[in-house]
Amino acid sequence: MKTSPKTTASFASLARTRFYDNTIFHRIVPGFVIQGGDPGQDGTGGPGYKVVDTPPRTTKYALGSVAMAKTQTEARGTSGSQFFVVTGDASFLTPDYAVLGRVISGLKVALTIGKYGDANDPAGTPTRIVVVKHIAISSK
């Protein structure tokens, strides 16, 4: 993606080396996001390095957007391996997360996964384990 070349290259490299294979969506917040990409499967892990691509101040996170997660203490655009897919209203998000792209096909699947969280749990603990078998990279 034009606005996040280092982040996109890092994500693609991790996917090609099968880093994401058999990880889970460790955070599922119904009507908001599904989050995965943590090799430790608890929301604290990463690849052992960070990259930074500061997103433009005009960045919006529409339904199906795929962006990188970061901690609140990290600088805008910082990312490791954790990513999220927007499955609902994210209009309140500030432009702090590097965008990778958007779901072109399979949005229905992402929305279904987004239902496997407890709407009353702000931490986003999944109610069902959803495993990422493999991430394939393609550019269109």
pLDDT in tens, 91-139: 999 999 999 999 988 999 999 999 999 989 988 999 999 999 999 887 6
Share of the chain above pLDDT 90, in %: 91
Sign of the C-alpha dihedral computed for residues 128, 132, 133 and 139 taken in this order: positive
Query: Does the residue 98 lie in any domain?
Result: yes
Query: Does the residue 61 lie in any domain?
Result: yes
Give CA–CA dist 93/35, Å, rounded: 15
Query: Does the residue 97 lie in any domain?
Result: yes
Domain around 79: 5-132
- The stretch 51-72 carries a mean pLDDT of 97
Task: Give the pLDDT score at 140.
Answer: 63
Query: Does the residue 139 lie in any domain?
Result: no
Task: Give the pLDDT score at 93.
Answer: 97
Query: Does the residue 116 lie in any domain?
Result: yes
Is the pLDDT at 53 greater than 70? The verdict is: yes
Name the nearest CA neighbour of 90 among 37, 17, 31, 38: 31
Give CA–CA dist 113/93, Å, rounded: 21
**Number of separate domains in the chain:** 1
Query: Does the residue 137 lie in any domain?
Result: no
- The stretch 52-81 carries a mean pLDDT of 97
**140 or 27, greater pLDDT:** 27
Task: Give the pLDDT score at 65.
Answer: 97
Q: What is the CATH number of the domain that holds 29?
A: 2.40.100.10
How does the average pLDDT of the chain come out, rounded? 95
Query: Does the residue 138 lie in any domain?
Result: no
Asked whether the beta carbons of 23 and 93 are under 8 A apart, the reply is no
Q: Which structure tokens are listed for 33?
A: 């996001």
Query: Does the residue 13 lie in any domain?
Result: yes
